[in-house]
């Protein structure tokens, strides 16, 4: 099936008219008195997103600290005294980073014990 060139010559003016009509419609609509673009309150969304991010970050910090505790236990069973000391220091620092003061103090005490050479 072939499209004749006569139809193409009619299509360009029709598209031009449609574009012109839409432009006039937009100008009339958007410039009428009292017209305002819709606005969205993004502050609540941003606050919610920030709060959820903080919760996720805190849970990640706790998971990391627990992982370091298990690495300390492996080092205690199979590592040298220097490896055990290093792991105790890492666990202490990770609980400090997580903001858990009780666990931090507990591991600081363990660190003092295992790091005496």
Q: What are the Cα distances from residue 93, in Å, to 20, 30, 83, 90, 112? A: 68, 59, 15, 5, 13
What DSSP character marks residue 33? T
Summarised one tens digit per residue, pLDDT across range 56-97 is: 999 999 999 999 999 999 999 999 999 999 999 999 999 999
Whole-number pLDDT of residue 87: 97
Whole-number pLDDT of residue 102: 97
Cα–Cα distance, 104 to 83 (Å, whole number): 19
Whole-number pLDDT of residue 18: 86
Q: Where are the alpha helices (DSSP H) in the chain?
A: 5-31, 43-78, 81-98, 101-114
Instruction: Using alpha carbons only, give the angle 74, 80, 83 rounded to the nearest 5 degrees.
Output: 65
- How is residue 42 written in tokens? 């993004």
Which value, in Å, is the radius of gyration of the alpha carbons in the chain? 34
Whole-number pLDDT of residue 4: 55
The domains of the chain are located at: 5-37+55-114
Whole-number pLDDT of residue 3: 53
Summarised one tens digit per residue, pLDDT across range 10-36 is: 677 778 888 888 888 887 877 777 777
Mean pLDDT score, 99-117 = 95
Burial class (CB in 10 A: 0-12, 13-18, 19+), 57: exposed
């Amino acid at each position: 099936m072939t499209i004749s060139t006569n139809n193409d010559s009619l299509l360009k003016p029709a598209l031009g008219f449609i574009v012109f009509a839409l432009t006039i419609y937009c100008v009339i609509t958007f410039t009428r008195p009292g017209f305002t673009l819709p606005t969205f309150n993004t502050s609540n969304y941003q606050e919610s997103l920030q709060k959820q991010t903080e919760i996720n970050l805190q849970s990640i910090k706790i998971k990391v600290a627990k992982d370091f505790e298990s690495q300390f236990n492996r080092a205690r069973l199979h590592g040298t005294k220097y490896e055990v000391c290093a792991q105790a220091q890492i666990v202490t620092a990770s609980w400090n980073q997580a903001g858990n003061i009780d666990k931090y103090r507990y591991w600081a005490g363990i660190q003092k014990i295992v790091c005496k050479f």
